[in-house]
Amino acid sequence: MPEAIPVDGATAEHVLEHLRHRGARVTTARRAIVEAMVNAQGHRTADEIAAAIHDAYPSINRSTVYRNLEELERLGVLVHAHLGHGAATYHLAANAHSHLVCERCGVALSVPTELFSELSTTMLAQYGFTIDPLHFSVLGICAPCRSTDAP
Amino acid sequence: MPEAIPVDGATAEHVLEHLRHRGARVTTARRAIVEAMVNAQGHRTADEIAAAIHDAYPSINRSTVYRNLEELERLGVLVHAHLGHGAATYHLAANAHSHLVCERCGVALSVPTELFSELSTTMLAQYGFTIDPLHFSVLGICAPCRSTDAP
DNA sequence: CGGCTTATTGCAACAGTGTTGCGTCTATCC
DNA sequence: GGATAGACGCAACACTGTTGCAATAAGCCG
């Protein structure tokens, strides 16, 4: 497992320089993906990223996007999380956060990872299990949906 | 949303009687699926269930299994959880538990839902969000995998 | 700058998981 | 035993992601 090098500055150039430093090539596809992720407020699925860069770079293939998301994660630039049923969502590692996902309306709330510190301690103490709150989402019912419940 | 009627006795007949009581028909497919779930120690994916009943009932279709798992969940007999990357897993509602899933080896530990009570309180207080610890899994690294990490 | 090497790409096909339309069948009710 | 609506089998589709392979191009070196 490569050492995790967090990317502090969230500018595209900063990230691309990091890639060069790690020995990875800076290609058109990678530049487009990194720019899309930097521009994205919050998180995006692989297909959303592919769609977002398709206007400026129509030739970039879906499989290239998938392969690069995987590689960019391996290089410590991105992280992905599973939101329950649907596709995984990616965001910059520098902008790491956890997710609450509503089972009813599907909204994904971004919340600080520190909220899981107690759970982390408990799971480690009782099961020797090191939790990874960036990788999974907490499913449930959001406040607006709960208030419109049939009583 | 139908009232949730938990199934106390975990015998197949008990569950099937519950179905009849709710106005659902007891068909060969449903009987086979319920028996497979009662016999299963722990949880099973939809495809595992389909494979398990295929020996005794080769004619039961994959789509029937999927449709019935959904219906049995709607009737409060089963619940499903997402284990991260792969397929969802089902178990009897009477045997409800949460999951810790190792990102490295894939093992799924069953843990009591009570472990999430603190998290539940926090999320409700800070975000008005009611968490559903049966529906998502906590991803991370299990003890055996962590101890074999390259330092 | 121009060639070399190999990482990266596009393409196309595939795999896993789940969903759906539709005509047929059958569990339940009488 | 017949009627009726729910359940089923089939086949095709949708979504998300993966892979083999030949062609391309990024970085290096002179």
pLDDT at B4: 43
Interchain CB distance below 8 Å, B128 and A142 = yes
Mean pLDDT value across residues B42-66: 95
Domain ranges of chain A: 12-93, 97-147
Q: Which two tokens stand for residue A126?
A: 């009782």
pLDDT (tens digit per residue) in A136-146: 999 999 999 99
pLDDT at A41: 77
Q: CA–C1' distance B12–C28 (Å)? A: 20
Under the banding of pLDDT at 50, 70 and 90, the label for residue A150 is: low
Of A94-108, A114-128, B5-19, B84-98, the poorest mean pLDDT is in B5-19
Residue A23 clears pLDDT 80, i.e. is over it: yes
DSSP string, chain B: -PPP----S--HHHHHHHHHHTT----HHHHHHHHHHHHSSS-EEHHHHHHHHHTT-TT--HHHHHHHHHHHHHTTSEEEEE-SSS-EEEEEGGG--EEEEETTT--EEEE-GGGGHHHHHHHHHHH--EE-TTTSEEEEE-HHHHHTS--
Report the nucleotide nearest the CA of residue B61, measured to C1'. D9
The CATH fold of domain B97-147: Dna Ligase; domain 1 (3.30.1490)
Q: d(Cα B68, Cα A15) in Å, to the nearest integer?
A: 48
- Above pLDDT 70, what percent of chain B? 91
pLDDT at A111: 97
Q: CA–C1' distance A3–D29 (Å)? A: 30
Residue A9 clears pLDDT 70, i.e. is over it: no
Interchain CB distance below 8 Å, A122 and B138 = no
B58 touches strand D (CB under 7 A): no
pLDDT (tens digit per residue) in A108-135: 999 999 999 999 999 999 999 999 999 9
Residue B5 clears pLDDT 80, i.e. is over it: no
pLDDT at B3: 41
Mean pLDDT value across residues B124-149: 96
pLDDT at B11: 86
Q: Provide the shortest C-alpha distance from residue B49 to chain A (in Å).
A: 19
pLDDT at B128: 97
Query: What is the dotted CATH code of the domain comprising A12-93?
Result: 1.10.10.10
pLDDT at B10: 64
Asked if A100 reaches chain B (Cβ–Cβ under 8 Å), the answer is yes
Q: Provide the shortest C-alpha distance from residue B56 to chain A (in Å).
A: 31
Under the banding of pLDDT at 50, 70 and 90, the label for residue B9 is: low
Asked if A29 reaches chain B (Cβ–Cβ under 8 Å), the answer is no
pLDDT (tens digit per residue) in A57-108: 999 999 999 999 999 999 999 999 999 988 999 999 999 999 999 999 999 9
Report the nucleotide nearest the CA of residue B58, measured to C1'. D9
Class at the top of the CATH hierarchy for domain B12-81: mainly alpha
Residue B150 clears pLDDT 60, i.e. is over it: no
- Tell me the chain B residues in contact with residue A126 when contact means C-beta distances shorter than 8 Å: 111, 115
Tell me, yes or no, if the two domains A12-93 and A97-147 fold the same way. no
Q: What is the DSSP letter of A7?
A: -
Under the banding of pLDDT at 50, 70 and 90, the label for residue B2 is: very low
B82 touches strand D (CB under 7 A): no
Q: Which two tokens stand for residue B41?
A: 């120690």
B11 touches strand C (CB under 7 A): no
Q: CA–C1' distance A151–D22 (Å)? A: 62
Q: Provide the shortest C-alpha distance from residue B30 to chain A (in Å).
A: 24
Q: Provide the shortest C-alpha distance from residue A56 to chain B (in Å).
A: 31
Nearest by CB to A84, from B111, B126, B136: name it: B136
Under the banding of pLDDT at 50, 70 and 90, the label for residue A11 is: confident
Q: Please tell me the pTM assigned to this model.
A: 0.90
